Amino acid sequence: MTKKDVPEVLTVGIEKYSNLGFGIARIDGYVIFVEGVCPGDIVKIRVGKKNKNYAFAKVVEIIKPSSHRVEPFCPMQRVCGACQLQFIDYDYQLKLKKDIVEDAMRILNELNLDIRDVIPSPMIRGYRHKIQYPVCETKDSKRILAGYYKIGSHDLVNIKYCPIQPEYCDNIIEFIRITARECGIFGYDENNHIGELRHIVIRNSAYNNKNLVILVMNSDKNLMKFKNLAHRIYTELDNIQGVGINFNSAKTNLILGDKTEIVAGQGYIEEKLCGKIFKIGAKTFFQVNPYTAENIFHYVREYISKNFDSPLVLDAYAGIAAFGICVSDLAKKVVSVEEVKDSTDLAAEIIKENGIKNIELYNMDAAKFFEKELKVAGRKYDAAILDPPRKGCSKESLDNVLKLTKGKIIYVSCNPATLARDLKYLLEQGCKIELIQPFDMFPHTYHIETVVVLNRSFE
């Protein structure tokens, strides 16, 4: 079937899920991606944009629902774009996520890959400990709105209750909605790039329920209004660790600008993982779900413990050196590298306060560090832990990691597509995949975190 033959409205059965959260239906081999559906649904759809080999569609009517459909526990699920899978029972969500990983790995052309069942999140409500709400205001009343965007749009949904984040964060957001107007602060107009308050960012600690609140300004004008708001948040609310102002005047989708000024309290929260206290700042990369994060850290730690005796460990794309710190007592030495200075500064404090003596910490781009290490240090690592951003690693970086590593590569990824691409390249260079272990870091979404162990023990 060609795209010209596909009718505008038709009835289809949903076969499976894509890695971007769309249901997949096929009509005589032609693929149609449908949003807001579950495999097993039979639905009437309206087809929108058509390409040569695939099209996108929206549901007109659910003819026969899948047996895995459930009632969403959040009343805003159908309009908010944050929890795409909340209408699907949780056990089946885990199966779909394993399917997504398996589908991504098909490009490897490897038989008998050890892809294990997804390890569930210990919490599936209240798990999200980093909140980033865009802000705007109503046209007539100038009332401040804050929440998430509707699916596939930049139309803001004013969220007053979000069950996937700690309840107290709802209280903080509501306080800011009201008090910002009392301080004379206007919400941001994204289309015209005017207004003052662009985003509200909260880092909440699962360890002690303290909160770091960051107000993102569109410019540095009228700073006193924001400082007044910051002081009111700090003094009038409980459990506030600190309040800061971030300056972002760029026409960009990036939430935080380069400069953050802490106005009241401390510029970090504390989190306890693997028995150690970590500090997490406004721009620090750290997983939004600390419960699954701890599961992953324990998993990697246990693997290192069972397979090595006092290894030399490379911890790359390290953030606040969480992996390195968690395995430091098992290692002869850990070499940790991270390009964001705020993160390495916090990592240095954490290492000192936890009394750790065997971590070398580098504030460098990972690719440049790999090149430098090959030229200068001349050492070979028993294990390399890679936790790159969603875009994955460059071929040059992977080549250098191979040259630096004599034992295992432990690759942690939040993007199955780029993970599969990088694994394919590593396999072509002679590596062997030992295991693939997915973790549910983001319940009720199509996102999945995966840990892969590769064997580098060859010459």
The token pair that represents 199 in the structure block:
């985003």
Catalytic residue among 80, 136, 414, 431: 414
Q: Sign of dihedral through CA atoms 361, 367, 373, 378?
A: positive
Please indicate whether residue 414 is annotated as part of the active site. yes
Residue 417: exposure state from Cβ atoms within 10 A (0-12, 13-18, ≥19): middle
Task: Of 450, 102, 105, give the one whose Cα is nearest residue 300.
Answer: 450
Phi, psi of 451 (to 5 degrees): -110, 125
Pair 268, 281: CB distance under 8 Å: yes
Catalytically annotated residues: 414
